[in-house]
Amino acid sequence: MLLAARKLAITGGRVIDPAQGIDRVADVLISDGEIESVTENSSGSAPAGYEQIDASGKIVSPGFVDLHTHLRDPGQEWKETIVTGTRAAAHGGFTTVCAMPNTDPVQDSAAVVTDVMRRAALAGTIRVLPIGAISVGQHGKQLAPMGELADAGVIGFSDDGHPVADPNLMRQALAYSVELGLPIINHAEDKKIGAGGVMSAGAVATRLGLAGVPAEAETVMVVRDLQLAELTRAHLHIPHISTMGSLVALRSAKERGVDVTAEVTPHHLTLNDEWVYGLKGEVPATVGSQAYDTNTKVNPPLRSRTDVDAVIEALSEGLIDIIATDHAPHATTDKVCTYNEAAHGINVLETAFSSVFQLVDAGKISVVRLIESLTAGPAAILRRDLGSLKKGFSADVAIIDPRRKWVVNPEQFESKSVNSPLAGVEFVGRVVTTIYQGETVFDLSGGAVGVNSGAKLEAKQ
């Protein structure tokens, strides 16, 4: 490919690459789609023959890696496609996304997985790594052909959205995964506790008359899964962890040496159940017509303030390993309805970094740890040469302007869907440029750039 010969120097930025322990003002040199080097100091100019991107005043990070994305393709292309989802990812600074298997058909066979990978390579703006199903059809009855899926290239197994309820099937999945060296990612929720619940149990749910799901619905299954991971010596990855009780169990398991990693979403780090009132977290004196904001409906549900504080602290100290988006696009018809009818899920990719960056401003987490949780952390779970600016790694870079102000307007999302509770929220700090394999796939100043011609063919609806 002609473009791959591009030589690029990203100069004068604060380069943060936690995998290498780098946090200094330096230049990042790129050639042939790979990282050439991170210089000791910034020269302030590009070497001869290099195109220059002036990043002074900005943060230069490895491109983000998202372990938990719903691309909805194949099967629900009206919500999102590989094309729109990967463009949305690029706009959020992500250069790798892992596609959850709850597509239609489900990614439970090599055929479907191969199709997703093929089309992502053709038309995707950034890298797509598929996740295979744990069970056939995600029905929780019979193990999917995990070996076949591993050979096809999946990076782990999940029945996301459908917890593996049968403890023995979960045990077998964990045991079987050991030989494959891939994690089991189980949506931890006991569906019978708080069955019918549509938000977190608590004062807000009671006030709004919405059926509540207690935090323990998650916690009890996290405890179960940790015990089974210990039994089988398998790698358990806990997606979207959100309760204080789960964290207690996670800490205990890590101390015992259980092979477990955990992720938390931007929304569970920044939003609580009071957002269901529809006033961006403000608690109104009286319930108004903004209440029952369906864009706050997500599973696991937005939790209490106490849980939010707990997951922030756990991420900061490293008990929670990484941030993953659980980007879950839904069509307008899935959200313009009653709260009970609304689909679970939040559109996250394009707001993810800005929302969690507010935690840095608030002094709750260091910027280095934050970037680690979006780069080196997920790459380590994937055991792939990603998420770092090491020499020879794919030249995947996110450039962040920490002072850039913007107001979220979902109508401007690259995603096909607009289901964000953050509409109208002003953030300070934003990804302004994303580079994938040495090519600029997003540049805020120059508007959207799609490196793949396929991306341009399919316009946003």
Partner 1 sequence: MANPTITVGNGNATEVIQTSGDKANANVTPRRHLLDLDDLSTKEITDLLDSAAGMLEITNRDVRKTPALRGKTIITMFFENSTRTRVSFEQAGKILGADVINVTASASSVSKGESLLNTVKTLQAMQIDALVVRHPHSGAPYFISNHTDASVVNAGDGTHAHPTQSLLDLFTVRTHVGDIAGKKIAIVGDVLYSRVARSDILAFQKMGAEVTVSCPNTLLPDEWQLGTTLDASTGFGGLKLARNVDDAVEGADVVMALRIQQERQDAGHLPSLREYSDRWGINAKRMALANDGALLMHPGPMNEGVEISSDVAHGAQSVVEEQVRNGVAVRMAVLYTLCAPGKSSRLSGGDEA
In the complex, which residues of this chain contact partner 1 (CB under 8 A)? Answer: 201-203, 205-212, 214, 285-289, 291-292, 333, 336-341
CA dihedral (409, 413, 416, 421) positive or negative: negative
Whole-number Å distance between alpha carbons of 365 and 211: 33
How far apart CA 89 and CA 437 sit, in angstroms, is 15
Nearest CA to 180 among 225, 222, 150? Answer: 150
The pair of three-digit structure tokens given for residue 435, joined into one six-digit string: 């580079």
Nearest to 398 by CA among 58, 142, 2, 3: 58
Q: Give least dist CB 203 to partner 1, A.
A: 5
Q: How far is the CB of 212 from partner 1 (least distance, A)?
A: 7
Residue 174, token pair as written in the block:
């964990």
Closest CB to partner 1 among residues 111, 203:
203
How far is C-alpha 364 from the geometric centre of its chain's CA atoms? 20
- 123, 101, 122, 121: which is closest to 112 by C-alpha? 101
**CA neighbor of 67 nearest in space, from 89, 97, 108:** 97
User: CA-CA distances (angstroms) from residue 256 to 226, 252, 454?
Assistant: 10, 6, 48
Active site residue 273: no
How far apart are CB 331 and partner 1 at their closest, in Å?
Answer: 12
* Smaller CB separation from partner 1, 181 or 288: 288
Count H helices and E strands in the chain, helices first.
13, 19
User: Residue 4 or residue 337: which is nearer to partner 1 going by CB?
Assistant: 337
207 versus 384: smaller Cβ distance to partner 1: 207
- Min dist CB 76 to partner 1, Å, is 18
Quote the tokens at residue 134: 């744990």
Q: Closest distance between partner 1 and the C-beta of residue 285, in Å? A: 8
- Given the residues 225, 326, 334, 401, select the one marked as catalytic: 326
206 versus 409: smaller Cβ distance to partner 1: 206
Q: Judge whether 443 and 11 are in contact, CB under 8 Å.
A: no
Query: What is the set of active-site residues?
Result: 326
